[in-house]
Structure 1
Amino acid sequence: MTANRLSTRSIEKVWGRSDLPRAFGLAAPAAQQPVGEIWFEDSKGPRPDLLVKYLLTSEKLSIQVHPDAAAARAYGYPSGKDEAWLVVAAEPGARIGLGLRAPISKAELRAAALDGRIEAMIDWREVSAGDVFFSPAGTIHALGPGLTLVEIQQNVDVTYRLYDYGRPRELHLDEAIAAAIPEPYVAPFEPYAYAPGREILVDSPAFVIERWTIGAGGRLAAGPERPVWLIPVRGGGLIDGQPLEAPTVWVVEDQSRIRIDEGSEVLFAYPGQGVCDALFVDTRIADAPIPGHERRHFVPARRIDPIFR
């Protein structure tokens, strides 16, 4: 089975953008709301474990939270919602809010959401291209304007709004307060270098995300129970003879031939916990008398500017 290029679906959001990056090949929104999310989906087969999106912000998103597995299933959802973001581009001063500046009670959280004080309680942090954040279920969070992000999440569409800056959209105070952890954010995972040019950004019960900044050619080995999503962010290469380039997303459920050009940055995501040691065989060195672990020590690539303009 060859790699499957996912189709795109644009989602209108009040906080989205009308000046869509040319690379997406989408027309500007006609009249109503700007586009805030671009989903990458496969209309065939069963519902996948993961969903990849691009987020494009021109205004603040609501202050919100997602439920964990137990809370989500109590309302009929198949899973909770952990998510992670890679910042592709950020305007000067662009910020992401993660957690609160100080712990408070749930009663205090409700009062702050009702009167708007919650905005000042959020731990806002400036971000830049290349930053990565993992937001597990229960994390109170928000995104500011001026951001282009790749979001990788558990494939469930459930968001509870705590505060929406007075916009006429529904809030979900009871559900949000029940799901929220009203305290400072502590990163549950610290990224680390698995090998030169191969960085583990997230390793959680829900998914693993790797960032490769390598030049390589070889075979990607996936499986139907643990498919692999490929998200080229910069640069590119080939996958089963087709162009591997941003902003596309591919899913591999068997084996595929890939080539990653020098100077590229590609995300690999797959469901479940634990790094897949045999994810990739670099056939350029596979016949050399080098131990298996050393075969994953690729040459680090230089960073290049984002393609989004």
Structure 2
Amino acid sequence: MNYPDELVGQGWRGPHFPLLEKFLDASHMLPVHLHADDETAARIYNQPNGKTEAWHILWAAPGATILAGLKGDFSRQELFDAFVAEDYDAVIDRYPIQTGDTIYVPGGIIHSFGPDCLVFEVQQTSDLGQMVMPYDLYGHPHSLEQWQANIYATLDELRNHYHPRPNPGLKLNSEQ
């Protein structure tokens, strides 16, 4: 990058552009997962950053929801049991969303969204992630051993310091 201070901000240096933007068409529920925070990315993966992200809901059908953040303090065993039972609502907050909402999700916070929404996501550039579902991104089932290993890896990186909630956009003059 030729002009990092001008493009990203004073003093930024790194091996790649620090932001990635995506459009995600959630026709089904995305996997329940988390991304490493910056400290975990450096400590475990020797990566320059984790993945904090923000979602802007471009469109949401009536009844569309997100899962984001733990409902409270749970033991490692309680979380493991809920994930194995695929009872995500027992331990993760679910919130209704609507077009115009924005949700901030720091690295280390467990989350998912869908179905029935179109999301513009702005995130740190990183591919680090851990999933707790019994199948991969493409719907292929994991072996029991791999699934449990994924859950344990997720629990190792899980943080509960922030509780994401949808924030409505500003009212436009035409909406008043």
Structure 1 and Structure 2 fold alike (TM over 0.5): yes
Within the alignment, does 1:61 sit opposite 2:39 as a pair? no
- Select 2:111's aligned residue among 119, 136, 141: 141
**CA displacement 1:155-190 (0-9 Å, x = unmatched):** 011111012579435542232111112587266xx9
Match of 2:87 in 1: 117
* Larger strand percent: 1
Q: Structure 1 residue 80: deviation in Å?
A: 1.1
Q: What RMSD over aligned residues (CA atoms) do the two structures have, in Å? A: 2.9
Does the C-alpha gap of structure 1 residues 90 and 141 become closer, same or farther in structure 2, counting only changes over 3 Å?
same
- Structure 2 stretches lacking a partner, 5+ long: 1-14
Q: Structure 1 residue 136: deviation in Å?
A: 0.3
**CA displacement 1:3-47 (0-9 Å, x = unmatched):** xxxxxxxxxxxxxxxxxxxxxxxxxxxxxxxxxxxxxxxxxxx62
Does the C-alpha gap of structure 1 residues 303 and 156 become closer, same or farther in structure 2, counting only changes over 3 Å?
farther
Residues 88, 150 of structure 1: 8 Å contact kept:
yes
**CA displacement 1:106-133 (0-9 Å, x = unmatched):** 2221222122223433211111111010
Match of 1:235 in 2: none
Residues 69, 110 of structure 2: 8 Å contact kept:
yes
Match of 1:178 in 2: 156
- What is the rounded CA distance, in whole Å, between the counterparts of 2:34 and 2:70 in structure 1? 12
Residues 99, 182 of structure 1: 8 Å contact kept:
yes
Q: Structure 1 residue 71: deviation in Å?
A: 1.3
**CA displacement 1:200-222 (0-9 Å, x = unmatched):** x9xxxxxxxxx9x8xxxxxxxxx
Count of aligned pairs between the two proteins: 152
Q: TM-score with structure 2 length normalisation? A: 0.74
Does the C-alpha gap of structure 1 residues 152 and 186 become closer, same or farther in structure 2, counting only changes over 3 Å?
closer
Q: What is the percent sequence identity of the aligned residues?
A: 29
Q: Structure 1 residue 102: deviation in Å?
A: 2.9
Q: Whose RCO is larger (CA < 8 A, sep 6+)? A: 2
- Select 2:41's aligned residue among 35, 54, 72: 72
Structure 1 outlier segments of 4+, above 6 Å = none
Does the C-alpha gap of structure 1 residues 87 and 163 become closer, same or farther in structure 2, counting only changes over 3 Å?
same
Does the C-alpha gap of structure 1 residues 128 and 165 become closer, same or farther in structure 2, counting only changes over 3 Å?
farther
Q: TM-score with structure 1 length normalisation? A: 0.44
Residues 26, 114 of structure 2: 8 Å contact kept:
yes
- Structure 1 stretches lacking a partner, 5+ long: 1-45, 192-200, 202-210, 214-299, 305-309
**CA displacement 1:241-295 (0-9 Å, x = unmatched):** xxxxxxxxxxxxxxxxxxxxxxxxxxxxxxxxxxxxxxxxxxxxxxxxxxxxxxx
Partner secondary structure for residue 41 of structure 2:
helix
Partner secondary structure for residue 132 of structure 2:
strand
- What is the rounded CA distance, in whole Å, between the counterparts of 2:84 and 2:163 in structure 1? 22
Paired amino acid for 1:52: E
Paired amino acid for 1:176: T
Residues 101, 183 of structure 1: 8 Å contact kept:
no
Paired amino acid for 2:71: R
